[in-house]
Amino acid sequence: MASSEEDGTVEEKENNNKKRTKSALVTAWLTFYNIAMTAGWLVLAITMMRFYIQRGTHKGLYRSIARTLKFFQTFALVEVGHCAIGIVKTSVIVNGVQVCSRIFMVWFVTNSIRQIQNEESVILFLVVWTVMEISRYSYYTFSLLHHLPYFIKWARYNFFIVLYPLGVAGELLTIYAALPFVRRSGMYSMRLPNKYNVSFDYYYCLIIVMLSYIPLFPQLYLHMLRQRRRVLHGEVIVEKDE
Amino acid sequence: MKHYEVEILDAKTKDKLCFLDKVEPNATIGEIKSMFHKSHPQWYPARQSIRLDPKGKSLKDEDVLQHLPVGTTATFYFRDLGAQISWVTVFLTEYTGPLVIYLMFYFRVPFIYASKYDFTTSKHWVVHLACMCHSFHYVKRLLETLFVHRFSHGTMPLRNIFKNCTYYWGFAAWMAYYINHPLYTPPIYGEQQIRLALIIFLFCQIGNFSIHIALRNLRPPGSKTRKIPYPTKNPFTWIFLLVSCPNYTYELGSWLGFTLMTQCLPVAFFTLVGFVQMTVWAKGKHRSYLKEFRDYPPLRSPILPFIL
């Protein structure tokens, strides 16, 4: 009797230990990830500033940071995985939509359409993204280390109020600038006849992407506003259920 | 006979919405819903969710008052399910759309293709065959909705009709546009491919219909009972030995046949999306069979024998 009781508690202790090491591993990984991303975006910010100070122009700036940007922005896909397995409490869909729109802007617009890489709108969204990501990742890092300076929390939940709309403007203006080049080159498009009996026009696809900002952006913005009220002012927000 | 008193509170605000006195002990939830409807005519019974606990599960219409864990003054909580629409209406609307839309593309109604093609017909016989198969499929679905299916739920939320119709009508238009296009390319392997595809399609249509009939015969008219389906004398039902939801298996087969017949990527895409959705439904149904019946045959998989 006594031994089986002991076995029971030993097993329990083992399970608890497993859970503790698992959550310690998870915390270690998340801390490393967020420090790495903060560092990455800081490097981007510094490189961009140095370029502008040294050259006095934004022409060629995108090309100089392209590789670093592609690396760190693509790596952010990992975050969708974090949400999916539940180690981060954000919804997969919210995070997924944000990461996908970033990946789309980087790989399918700015990177592949060279003629628009020197547009001012590109610099606009790059600056916005850099500031947002540095404040977001440093917020996560400090939260995980349980030492969150108030100004980081303040930055994370207030900068977006101005930066989100500015970022959207930069992105939309860039896509709009790219349209004539897409039409002329027929890139990423497929015409009839072909053996798959399908066609795809990247030009109209981009227009649909631009239109999709209309329903999507307000939802993300309002979501952030609700988060802000909850985190900064401790308000309990009753979400619409179903 | 002791009568019950029933009070109905709003599940969110806890406001007293209705008080019924002298309720028979053998009254059902359905009857209580009708009484509630009299005092609140905007909430017809189908949109009422009555529960014992504000956050609990809905009570069924068949539940009897005296068999519920309540005292002689029963407190129920009410939640508005929103505007409801009958399943039959939704099915009829969502299936008539693809039927009509596909035919519009088939007959090349103006403003779809270049005007020189208006009201012309395709020179490929597979296009005519595809039209017949697609139309047959949706006519079959409409007739089954009217004469075969026995629905356990009467209604669903109104917003579902918009979601469902967008899906069915949208995909029908997308597929029909390419299949009936003047620049359509017929299947690479020609007659062999089309013949094989047609056999698969017809086989699965008959299979799907056989399963619907078998499921209907499990349930006496007007009842909502659930029983384990078993193979019957019809060989098309022998798949019940291996699969819980063979109607979805056959449906997947039909669309694979149609994809092969038309060799059209949008059709393949529609088949894939449908398969994902049907797998989700099949897994849910399989799980509820396992929960409800202790002696459920262990060999069965939800939708694909041994695989899924």
Mean pLDDT by 10 residues, chain A (242 residues): 51 72 87 95 95 92 94 94 89 89 95 93 95 95 91 92 95 96 93 93 95 91 90 65 41
Is the Cα dihedral B78, B81, B82, B86 positive or negative?
A: negative
In this structure, which topology does domain B2-81 adopt according to CATH? Ubiquitin-like (UB roll) (3.10.20)
Please report, in tens digits, the pLDDT of each residue of chain B (308 residues total): 678 888 889 988 888 988 888 888 888 888 889 989 998 999 998 899 999 888 888 888 888 888 888 888 888 999 998 899 999 999 999 999 999 999 999 999 999 999 999 999 999 999 999 999 999 999 999 999 999 988 877 889 998 999 999 999 999 999 999 999 999 999 999 999 999 999 999 999 999 999 999 999 887 776 767 788 999 999 999 999 999 999 999 999 999 999 999 999 999 999 999 999 999 999 999 999 999 888 898 899 999 999 98
Q: Which of A190, A197, A198 to mutate to test the interface with B (most CBs of B within 10 A)?
A: A197
pLDDT tens digit sequence for A3-43: 444 445 666 777 777 777 778 889 999 999 999 999 999 99
Contacts of B157-166 with C-beta under 8 Å, sequence gap 24+, read: B157/B81, B157/B82, B157/B83, B157/B84, B157/B85, B158/B82, B158/B83, B158/B84, B158/B85, B159/B82, B160/B85, B160/B90, B161/B85, B161/B89, B161/B90, B161/B93, B161/B94, B164/B90, B164/B94, B165/B93, B165/B94, B165/B97
Contacts of B181 in chain A (CB under 8 A): 192, 197
Is A193 part of the contact surface with chain B (CB cutoff 8 Å)?
yes
How close does chain A come to B99, measured CA to CA in Å? 21
* Dist. CA B33–CA B50, nearest whole Å: 8
Question: A11 catalytic, yes or no?
Answer: no
Contacts of B183 in chain A (CB under 8 A): 192-193
Q: Do A196 and B265 touch (CB under 8 A)?
A: yes
* Dist. CA B209–CA B236, nearest whole Å: 9
* Dist. CA B179–CA B262, nearest whole Å: 7
Cβ neighbours, 10 Å, residue B178: 21
Question: A235 catalytic, yes or no?
Answer: no
Q: Do A196 and B183 touch (CB under 8 A)?
A: no
Is A196 part of the contact surface with chain B (CB cutoff 8 Å)?
yes
Instruction: Find residues 138-167 of chain B whose CB sits inside 8 Å of chain A.
Output: none
pLDDT for A242: 36
Residues of chain B with CATH 3.10.20.90: 2-81
